[in-house]
Amino acid sequence: MLKVRNRNAGYQLVQFKLSKKQMKSLKNYCRARKTSPNKLIKKSIRYYTEHFSDGVPQKFYATANQLDIFHDIEKDETPLSLF
């Protein structure tokens, strides 16, 4: 009798929802380009899935919002001076 080995394929499932209009548009584009929606999505995100497995360079991190330099006048008693 043969033993069946369970193999971990090493894949992760990713799910997201599209509206009916978005799905129709995706199917029409794929039909025109003679490809599948799965191949189109994988090709579109390939850069992000192949280049950042070890770490993300500092230049890609989000910076602090620059608009927070303006204080909320209601919380802060000092008025905002622009000049």
Contacts of 70 (CB under 8 A, 6+ apart): 80
Distance CA 18, CA 41 (A): 13
What are the tens digits of pLDDT across the range 8-23?
778 888 999 999 999 9
Q: What pLDDT was estimated at residue 5?
A: 77
- SS3 label, residue 12: coil
What are the tens digits of pLDDT across the range 24-60?
999 999 999 999 999 999 999 999 889 888 888 888 8
- Give pTM, 2 decimals: 0.60
